[in-house]
């Protein structure tokens, strides 16, 4: 058996770098995460849950750039804008968990 780390994250997805930078500045000024998700995120499925994208492993489930950035964060830390095939994400790492995997 091996341990496979999974994390739970939320994100704000926007189309361009300019908008991502604007959201980042608002977060830096103390604006509330959930309010900014509702106002800016183009991922309507996750926006209804505060940007929550659920639990995922480091490889194979999410866009590679998204996953790498999310796994580097500490719990409750928020990333700088991260470019993916879908646009720009600002990611908040919510939880971390090591899961027993049969190998």
CATH number at residue 29: 3.10.50.40
pLDDT at 1 over 60: no
Q: Which domain holds residue 43?
A: 2-101
DSSP code at position 33: H
Per-residue confidence (pLDDT) for residue 21, from 0 to 100: 98
Q: How far is CA 81 from the centre of its chain?
A: 10
Per-residue confidence (pLDDT) for residue 76, from 0 to 100: 96
The whole model's pTM is what? 0.90
Q: What is the mean pLDDT of the chain?
A: 92
Q: What is the pLDDT of residues 30-76, one digit of tens each?
A: 999 999 999 999 999 999 999 999 999 998 899 999 999 999 999 99
Task: Please state, in angstroms and rounded to a whole number, the distance separating the CA atoms of residues 92 and 51.
Answer: 9
Helix (H), strand (E) at residue 55:
strand 52-57
Query: Structural domain tally of the chain?
Result: 1
Helix (H), strand (E) at residue 37:
helix 33-40
What is the mean predicted confidence (pLDDT) over 3-30?
95
């Amino acid at each position: 058996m091996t341990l496979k780390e999974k994390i739970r994250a939320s994100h704000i997805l926007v189309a361009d770098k300019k908008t991502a930078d604007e959201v980042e500045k608002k977060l830096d000024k103390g604006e509330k995460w959930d309010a900014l998700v509702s106002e800016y995120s183009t991922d309507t499925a996750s926006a209804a849950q505060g940007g929550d994208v659920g639990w995922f492993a480091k490889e194979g489930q999410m866009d590679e750039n998204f996953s790498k950035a999310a796994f580097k964060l500490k719990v409750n830390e928020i990333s700088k804008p991260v470019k993916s095939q879908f646009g720009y994400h600002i990611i908040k790492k919510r939880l971390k968990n090591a899961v027993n995997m049969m190998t």
